[in-house]
Structure 1
């Protein structure tokens, strides 16, 4: 049982982020400038948006390994249709409908077919990439052109001197918090993630709630894809084959959302995104190689988990719930 007054993983990770800020501000000239802070936040805003999607699924005791693949293919298809002359609203509706359909299928596989989420979504991610590249998208990279050019402001514009992607991240954070905190469906999701058997006994619609969380993940992932495509004026479908989805999981777990479900919230994703943003920005300024960056990120994740285990030991029942 967690005792009051003890530090949780969220507080530990936030303290690490503050410590890194202090170290970088002393050792790296220009780190604390307004432009660099805005660039830092802008660079991790898309990762944070995807973290919200993944966080909601993990709180429901699931995982969505198809998130990045679905984002890349659905948005790439939308850009392809818009570039071919289709009106943007129709292209958006078709691509969004496709994304939501895949999310619902993911949820059905987990909730009704009772396939473990890690296997269902891993297979779906591979299937979606192959299906999209063979049937929907001719080229590996879909460009922002035709009627889709109006979306460029979402990724490249600014409002009151603040890049629009930061506003997008803040908006989705606010909506996610309101959903988990005040919506009945959000409370059901947390209850199902905390204890599926108890939720069923009390009469909660457990299976529809599980389907719902994957649909929400697909919706937020599509929004993240729009911001991504608008920011770089394209969508590279090979993103589906990258390790980007594991960066998303890193943000979620590092922030303190437990993989055993039912614990954590949007604030945890924000904290995890903040630490990763500060870390990546500092390592970029220091020109640290990518492979060494991976070692540093993995080490910090391990440190945060070990520190949380020492400061907040779990009882036997909680430990068993977290077993894979």
Structure 2
């Protein structure tokens, strides 16, 4: 009788499995962030000062908020390339309305409604018209940017009203010595964690990303959930844009042509949220944001050219995508090992 198959695994096999379990992308990225921080603190003058640390966390807060928005759709096995365009146009329109005399609170409400509307249209195109998320959001980003510049916004740069002190405080104020953008990032992160982990809709998002067809069979309203995902993601993105506008006293719509959308994807993928969907959470976004924040701050202190920084970031993104494809195959065919 062959006892090999029924015998318990040896100590070596158990040790290897424990090593694999501990060898997660999240822990690797966190370790890299800590090591990079320690390295910069030891060899870069001025890096470990209180002012620089506060500047670092302030600068990456908006990136973190946008990362949370992107994470929501990526967990549901989607992607939103219109996020930055929606953010820029909705916030610039908000500032334009406020500049024309509309009360700031009412203008913000209109901007949020515009952002949510764009997200809902994205969701409808993806869920009901069956257009792939990559193409529908790319087209929507181009459309909303062109429409906004043509009909809604008088110029590329829209200044924030100087007499609305509470709005300025959102981006430039402090609470208990910590910049307000950091508190807002933490608030959005907490809300995102509660939504994803402690609500039925959040569990539906994970089920959607894990297995779309199985979610449909079990009775989950798949199409409405897709629409909800993109609507909430655009809402969060607009909040990030408002923080940006309050921090720099305006919104430059040319940010749409920057590498910001790739930075957002980098934070999400690098933190350990697989593009295959169904895994990850707020903690992954925070960890990815910390690593990118430390890296960019260090390169800025070293006076590394902007183009070189982009090369570094794109190389890291490419490596993270390759690593993600190995850890999280997107279907049964790519999950097969040994095929040529």
Q: What does residue range 1-324 of structure 1 map to in structure 2 within 5 Å?
A: 3-6=17-20, 7-145=23-161, 148-304=164-320, 317=332, 319=334
Q: Which runs of 4+ in 1 moved over 4 A?
A: 146-149, 302-310, 312-316
Q: CA deviation at 1:4?
A: 4.6
Q: CA deviation at 1:300?
A: 3.2
Q: CA deviation at 1:25?
A: 1.2
Q: CA deviation at 1:294?
A: 1.8
Q: CA deviation at 1:89?
A: 2.1
**Per-residue displacement from partner, 1:100-152 (whole Å, max 9, x unpaired)?**
11111000000010100010000000000111011111111111116655300
Change (3 A) 1:105 1:24: same
Conservation of the 8 A alpha-carbon contact between 2:329 and 2:335: no
Change (3 A) 1:313 1:136: closer
**Per-residue displacement from partner, 1:158-211 (whole Å, max 9, x unpaired)?**
011110000011111111111110010000011001100000011100001100
Q: Distance in 2 between matches of 1:26 and 1:305?
A: 31
Q: Distance in 2 between matches of 1:136 and 1:120?
A: 22
**Per-residue displacement from partner, 1:57-93 (whole Å, max 9, x unpaired)?**
1001000000000000001001000011011222112
Change (3 A) 1:252 1:316: closer
SS at match of 1:142: strand
Conservation of the 8 A alpha-carbon contact between 1:13 and 1:271: yes
**Per-residue displacement from partner, 1:202-234 (whole Å, max 9, x unpaired)?**
110000110010011111011001100000000
The count of aligned residue pairs is 319
Q: CA deviation at 1:33?
A: 1.9
Change (3 A) 1:104 1:125: same
Conservation of the 8 A alpha-carbon contact between 1:82 and 1:91: yes
Q: CA deviation at 1:278?
A: 0.3
C-alpha root-mean-square deviation of aligned residues, in Å? 2.1
TM-score, normalization by structure 1: 0.93
**Per-residue displacement from partner, 1:26-73 (whole Å, max 9, x unpaired)?**
111222222211111101000000000000110010000000000000
Change (3 A) 1:277 1:205: same
Between 1 and 2, higher relative CO (CA 8 Å, sep ≥ 6) is seen in: 1
Change (3 A) 1:52 1:299: same
Q: CA deviation at 1:315?
A: 10
SS at match of 2:158: strand
Conservation of the 8 A alpha-carbon contact between 2:276 and 2:330: no
Q: Distance in 1 between matches of 2:328 and 2:142?
A: 38
Mark the structure with the bigger radius of gyration.
2
Identify the range of structure 1 (241-250 vs 103-112) with the bigger mean alpha-carbon deviation. 241-250
Q: Distance in 1 between matches of 2:25 and 2:241?
A: 29
Q: CA deviation at 1:295?
A: 2.1
Change (3 A) 1:176 1:147: same
Conservation of the 8 A alpha-carbon contact between 1:59 and 1:258: yes
Which runs of 5 or more residues in structure 1 are unaligned? none
